[in-house]
Structure 1
Amino acid sequence: MGGKPGGVFEGLDKRSQERHRAIQAARDAAAGYDSDDANANARVPWGSRSSDEGSDSDGAAAKDRPQAEAPKKPKKPKVKKPKVTVADAAALIDAESLAAHLVDISASYENQEGIQLMRFADYFGRAFANVSAAQFPWAKMFKESPMPKMVDVPLSHVPEPVCKTASDWISQRSPDALGEFVLWCIDSIMSELSGPTVGPKGAKKVVQQTPKAQVAIFVVLALTLRRKPDVLINLSPKIVGNSKYLGQEKLPIIAWVINQASQGDLVSGMFSWSHSLFPTVCAKSSGNPQSRDLVLQLLERFLTTPNASKARAMLLNGAVRKGERLVPAGTLDLFMRCTFPVPNARVKVC
């Protein structure tokens, strides 16, 4: 306590002054840096900024510039698939392979003949899968070709050993199963002739197409009808008498079906013609002349195949079938009136 007055606070004042000077010096230094930086910026013209600013500016400009398009890869030329004709596909069918397939499905589905017949159709479906519609325009062919030319379409392309193997197997199936199979085949063909049908409230409902139906269905149907023509006799009233099978565009298919049965048994074909087809199509004098002409072409086919004398002998020997006349009296009378109409009832065929 013996020092000068105020000596107690002298050290504190000195340290406070030093801190004040240090703070002031820091402020002056900061102010001098800002001034130099501002002057430097004032001296540097726009577009000559620092490298960092330049990089930012360049990045922004790069975003504005359109991106360079990547080089387009050259398109590979489409490889055209070779055209496969019905004859090409049929020539590849092997009788031994078919026989093995039939043995397998007969064992796998021993008590299910319906499934066996579907698997039978599947085999030919795979065989003709690569045949395009353009190679087998059957609707156009049936419309434009005469009846004699269509009788062997498309079965004529299938090798004889394959036909024999299939026919032998078909002969062992029951009439009921074959009848359902034949009806399924005909429905499959007819569904492709049917366009969209109008459903409730005008909605269009497209008839489902049968997979691979184009060639294969015609082949298996012809094979079945030629081996078991009797099946058609039971089905004829259901087919010809049903409106869904009637119509100018469908008549050539029905005529083709009856013609296939006649290849196996001429009397069966004639029976279906006289009991079902002819009375249905030609009963009305106002019927379509083209339809009538097609039906009469089919009769002419019966009477000239394979030759006139043999055909007549077969038909005369089969004049009565299962207690029914081959040509009923009513059909004969209708046929005579269509063939020799009275003058005022004659209609010019277009």
Structure 2
Amino acid sequence: MDVNSALIESILREQDEAEADKYVKKMASTAPVQNGDAYAWQTVSYHKRNRRPSRPIPPDSFADLPTADVFRSIELHSEDRRRRIREAQNGDDGSDAEVAGAAENGEPKKVKLKKPKMTVAEGASKIDSAHLGAFLAEITEVYQSQQDIQLLRLADYFGRAFSSVCAPQFPWFKIFKESTVSKMVEIPLSHISENVYKTSVDWIGQRSTEALGSFVLWSLDCILADLSNHQGGTKGSKKVVQQPSRCQVAIFAVLAMVVRRKPDVLISLFPVMRESSKYQGQDKLPLTVWLITQASQGDLVAGLYTWVHLLLPLLCSKSGCNPQSRDLILQSVERILSSPKARPILLNGAVRKGERIVPPSALDLLMRVSFPSPSARDKATERFEAVYPTLKEISLAGSPGSKTMRQVAQKILNYSVKAVKKGIPGLSKEASSIFIWCLTHCPKCYKQWDMLYLDNLDASVIVLKKLSDEWKEHSVKHTSLDLLRETIKSFREKNEKALANGDVLVHHSLLKDADKYCKLILGQSSQGHGCMKSMVLVSVALAMGAAIMSQNIQPQDLKKLAAMFNFPLTINGGISQN
């Protein structure tokens, strides 16, 4: 038996005993007493049941009877008992219980005074930056070692400022669902003054990442609880208490300031947000987009980093992505890339704390959504094609020849081979171009290609064809053609062995095509090499002729000149003609 049941039972028992005792005493005082002995024997007589009823007594005569007071007392006790039972069941509530009790006792109802409605802008205008600064200094001193409590007190401070804001004045769920990203990002900080904002973010910047991370998760949980109430919850889920609208305004305001001031806090929460299902789903996407836009307001590099790691994977997820969600994801990245000086800022910050903001895996996803099959193209495809070149440039940015770039090139080459094999014309063309870029930026990629050649013969044929068709364009990008020629010769040897075995009939046509393009590339590279050698010979001949004409050249000088250009000398000191 719970506490409420025990309390109700005790009240009922107490009232029953009190009423019984009072009734017995009342009846004993009105009964006739013989010889002064209240306990003497008395004669009791019963009326016959079939006796005719006497004339009805007028109603007014009941007023003089003593029993009327008895029943009135019982009624009053019953009313009091019912009131006490209701209070025990509902708890010690304030105004509602008083109004109900007054109505039962015949008293006039007490009308509760309604607080005047207030907009978010009106509530924000009442916040004084000097008063806020004094408050922050006070809580910093009182809760020195409890920064999590300090942040909760800051949220409570804003909550009191927005105490009169009702839910219709801040329909955040409706705004997020119907507004563009540009409008969404200003909620609700557009109403807060610059001085109040600066005072708050300066103080927030001094809090630890751990405390801020805990506050961000607490804020998200409160917002998601309110979101569950908007959606009506799910069957069998635990009912959550809806937060007042003033709390929601305060939570959004402080959360936005935290993410803008320290976007690294949001990045540190990636593992939690990925592993927990409560932060995932299409219904949470507007909130995630809002968070990322807040982060990009404070730091474009951090904003793009969060977009790549939280939103881009949704485009290729197994659950799919509806047009509304795809539009939100595109709006967020378009806003980041359209910011003033976004391109130089993002290129300079392409590597953030040792991590690339657009890693090779992200470039692979971007290629797939920007170059789908012709039947899969839609309105969003053109928007992806518009942002793809900048994102690709950021992904490939770095110091040429550095160890980091060589590692990036090797990873990208693996993704490029898989993309080329898809057989989608636009995707194969783009992936093969990136494949050739990898060859020019990392010599080890030639060896990597040699190992992948036969297992990815169809992709290799496409790359070889592109090299042959666009030789003039690609040949100047190679610092040396020696590695390319050695790799092509290795391909020809593998082609001959595979064709000689006769057990690869399926790949017979591919091997023939590959061998054809290998011959073309070797011929083109040899022509270029021969032209270069001829130019060197002509230059040397001219130099030698000028030296002989001057008759001042010495044999040792002739040897040095020949050694410089790697030309052998005859016994007599002349240049041998090979």
Q: Residue in 2 aligned with 1:205?
A: 238
1:114-193 maps to which residues of 2 (within 5 A)?
114-193=148-227
Q: Residue in 2 aligned with 1:4?
A: none
1:228 and 2:262 are equivalent in the alignment: yes
Task: Say which of 356, 361, 376 aligns to 1:345.
Answer: 376
Partner SS state of residue 194, structure 1: helix
1:99 and 2:100 are equivalent in the alignment: no
Q: Residue in 2 aligned with 1:317?
A: 348
- Mapped partners of 2:355, 2:269: distance in 1: 16
CA spacing shift, 1:59–1:99, aligned 2, 3 Å = same
CA spacing shift, 1:61–1:144, aligned 2, 3 Å = same
Equivalent pairs, count = 282
CA spacing shift, 1:181–1:141, aligned 2, 3 Å = same
1:322 Cα deviation after fit = 1.1
Does the CA-based 8 Å contact 1:289-1:347 persist in structure 2?
no
Once the two structures are superposed, residues 13-52 of structure 1 have per-residue CA deviations (whole angstroms, 9 ceiling, x without a partner) of: xxxxxxxxxxxxxxxxxxxxxxxxxxxxxxxxxxxxxxxx
1:1-350 maps to which residues of 2 (within 5 A)?
59-60=60-61, 81-195=115-229, 202=236, 205-210=238-243, 212-284=246-318, 286-305=320-339, 307=340, 310-346=341-377
Does the CA-based 8 Å contact 1:240-1:277 persist in structure 2?
no
- Mapped partners of 1:177, 1:242: distance in 2: 20
- Mapped partners of 2:117, 2:182: distance in 1: 27
CA spacing shift, 1:77–1:276, aligned 2, 3 Å = closer
- Mapped partners of 1:81, 1:74: distance in 2: 22
- Mapped partners of 1:237, 1:296: distance in 2: 23
Partner SS state of residue 283, structure 2: coil
Does the CA-based 8 Å contact 1:85-1:131 persist in structure 2?
yes
- Mapped partners of 2:331, 2:140: distance in 1: 40
Q: Residue in 1 aligned with 2:573?
A: none
- Identity among equivalent pairs (%): 57
Partner SS state of residue 267, structure 1: helix
Amino acid at match of 1:318: G
CA spacing shift, 1:74–1:197, aligned 2, 3 Å = closer
Gaps of at least 5 residues in structure 2 are 1-56, 65-105, 381-578
More contact order relative to length (CA 8 Å, sep ≥ 6): 1
From the CA coordinates, give the structure whose radius of gyration is larger: 1
Does the CA-based 8 Å contact 1:167-1:227 persist in structure 2?
yes
Could you say what the CA RMSD is over the residues aligned between the two structures, in angstroms?
2.7
Once the two structures are superposed, residues 42-91 of structure 1 have per-residue CA deviations (whole angstroms, 9 ceiling, x without a partner) of: xxxxxxxxxxxxxx96832779xxxxxxxx99989886643200000000
Amino acid at match of 1:154: P
1:167 Cα deviation after fit = 0.8
State the TM-score, normalized to the length of structure 1: 0.73
- Mapped partners of 2:139, 2:202: distance in 1: 15
Amino acid at match of 1:226: R
Does the CA-based 8 Å contact 2:308-2:357 persist in structure 1?
yes
Once the two structures are superposed, residues 150-205 of structure 1 have per-residue CA deviations (whole angstroms, 9 ceiling, x without a partner) of: 11111010111111111111111111111111111111111111146568xx5x52
- Mapped partners of 1:281, 1:194: distance in 2: 25
- Mapped partners of 1:340, 1:58: distance in 2: 96
- Mapped partners of 2:163, 2:315: distance in 1: 35
CA spacing shift, 1:284–1:347, aligned 2, 3 Å = farther
Partner SS state of residue 282, structure 2: coil
CA spacing shift, 1:295–1:242, aligned 2, 3 Å = farther
1:283 Cα deviation after fit = 3.5
1:216 Cα deviation after fit = 0.4
- Mapped partners of 2:319, 2:364: distance in 1: 13
Does the CA-based 8 Å contact 2:116-2:164 persist in structure 1?
no
Amino acid at match of 2:352: R
Does the CA-based 8 Å contact 2:314-2:320 persist in structure 1?
no
Amino acid at match of 2:61: A
Does the CA-based 8 Å contact 2:115-2:164 persist in structure 1?
no
- Mapped partners of 2:322, 2:365: distance in 1: 15
Q: Which one has a larger percent helix, Structure 1 or Structure 2?
A: 2
Of stretches 89-98 and 284-293 in structure 1, the one that deviates more from structure 2 is 284-293
